[in-house]
A = this chain, B = another copy of it.
């Protein structure tokens, strides 16, 4: 069935044909896009379109391919090269917004090989800050992901009760105890840190908020803020203006809504993320099936790796560790966000193939980071 990018609802015989296809038990293939499906904007309420099992599109993906609401219509989609004058591309624009769909092979050029004469000082000192009683595991995951992502040195600021847990779990990491036994509290000397990741399991205690504020005030640009770090920012939105330019925020949809406003659709949430990025000159990594990395320039990069086996507690903590490690090694903030998200998803895909989506854990994903890196580097 020949698809179309029409921006008006199906009517008449086309509507009837679509309904018939949807009621049929046959496998439905759509070409270009399913008839009646809106490729550039959300479907109007009540509109009908063909619900395909597979969609074969041309030249470049369309914006609406990246939203959960479209899945019922698109099924599994692929983009085919049809020999247009410009070569096949994963870049496309929509309402003058430049989008791209990052494929694995495009990342190889940004990989930095380790020089034969390099030493641990050449790979930076990554500092992770987080953990609160009952959520110390988040810092084990973030720390381990950081270690397995090539950082020269990794230090963890954790509640004092968690220091020994970290030392047991992560013998390669050094620890600095918070002033409090069960939360992050106090001010810390960050001079030795090449990059900072704040948030895994941190909680939102007022003392912890003060610590985050103090770190932000030190103006270190190589920073990732995740999880409870984002929740603290949501409760203190005036602080957003003080984030150093290039800071990477990694919200999941719920955290995104708290940072901005409750979105009516995933499309609206993406636009909120873009606006947040532009307004405060930060990189917003909006996590989802196709994680969207929004840059202050307005550009959006959709990630192409990952699977629903990662939809489990701990996956986000791993991402924070990975991006912090990349920043520490001297990757630019943009590269760290794009490469980190891709590595995270690819490691998840390898873990899913080994342990299954049902059973794979964030720990399994982390153990697959080396293989993910090798695939990108190939």
Bound Cα distance A143, B137 (Å): 13
A120 touching B313 in the complex, CB below 8 Å, given contacts A135-B174, A359-B369:
yes
Bound Cα distance A49, B253 (Å): 57
Bound Cα distance A307, B115 (Å): 9
A370 at the B interface (CB under 8 A):
yes
A311 touching B71 in the complex, CB below 8 Å, given contacts A359-B148, A361-B148, A373-B356:
no
Bound Cα distance A373, B118 (Å): 26
Please indicate the chain B residues that have their CB under 8 angstroms from the CB of A81 in the complex: none
Among the stretches A1-9, A27-35, A149-157, A330-338, the one at the interface with B is: A149-157
A239 at the B interface (CB under 8 A):
no
**Within the complex, what minimum Cβ distance (angstroms) separates A311 from chain B?**
5
Digitize A208-239: 1 where CB-to-B-CB distance is under 8 Å, 0 elsewhere.
Answer: 00000000000000000000000000000000
Please indicate the chain B residues that have their CB under 8 angstroms from the CB of A161 in the complex: 164
Q: How large is the interface on A (under 10, 10 to 19, 20 to 34, 35 or more residues)?
A: 35 or more
Interface residues of A in 121-139 (CB under 8 A from B): 121-123, 133-138
**Within the complex, what minimum Cβ distance (angstroms) separates A123 from chain B?**
6
Identify A149's interface contact among B68, B135, B163, B359, CB under 8 A: B359
Best-surrounded residue of A114, A163, A307 (most CB of chain B within 10 A): A114
The reply to whether A68 and B117 contact each other, CB–CB distance below 8 Å, is yes
Identify A171's interface contact among B133, B138, B309, CB under 8 A: B138
Task: Give the number of copies in the complex.
Answer: 4
**Within the complex, what minimum Cβ distance (angstroms) separates A350 from chain B?**
12
A192 at the B interface (CB under 8 A):
no
Bound Cα distance A150, B371 (Å): 23
Bound Cα distance A237, B118 (Å): 29
Please indicate the chain B residues that have their CB under 8 angstroms from the CB of A135 in the complex: 174-175
The reply to whether A313 and B169 contact each other, CB–CB distance below 8 Å, is no
A41 at the B interface (CB under 8 A):
no
Bound Cα distance A115, B153 (Å): 38
The reply to whether B114 and A140 contact each other, CB–CB distance below 8 Å, is no
The reply to whether A137 and B174 contact each other, CB–CB distance below 8 Å, is yes
The reply to whether A137 and B167 contact each other, CB–CB distance below 8 Å, is yes
A36 at the B interface (CB under 8 A):
no
A141 at the B interface (CB under 8 A):
yes
The reply to whether A141 and B172 contact each other, CB–CB distance below 8 Å, is yes
The reply to whether B153 and A313 contact each other, CB–CB distance below 8 Å, is yes
Chain A residues with a Cβ under 8 A of chain B: 68, 71, 114-123, 133-138, 140-141, 147-154, 161-165, 167-177, 252-254, 288-289, 307-309, 311-315, 355-363, 369-371, 373-374
Pull 8 A–B residue pairs with CB atoms less than 8 Å apart, ordered by A: A71-B116, A122-B311, A134-B167, A134-B175, A169-B171, A171-B314, A172-B361, A358-B370
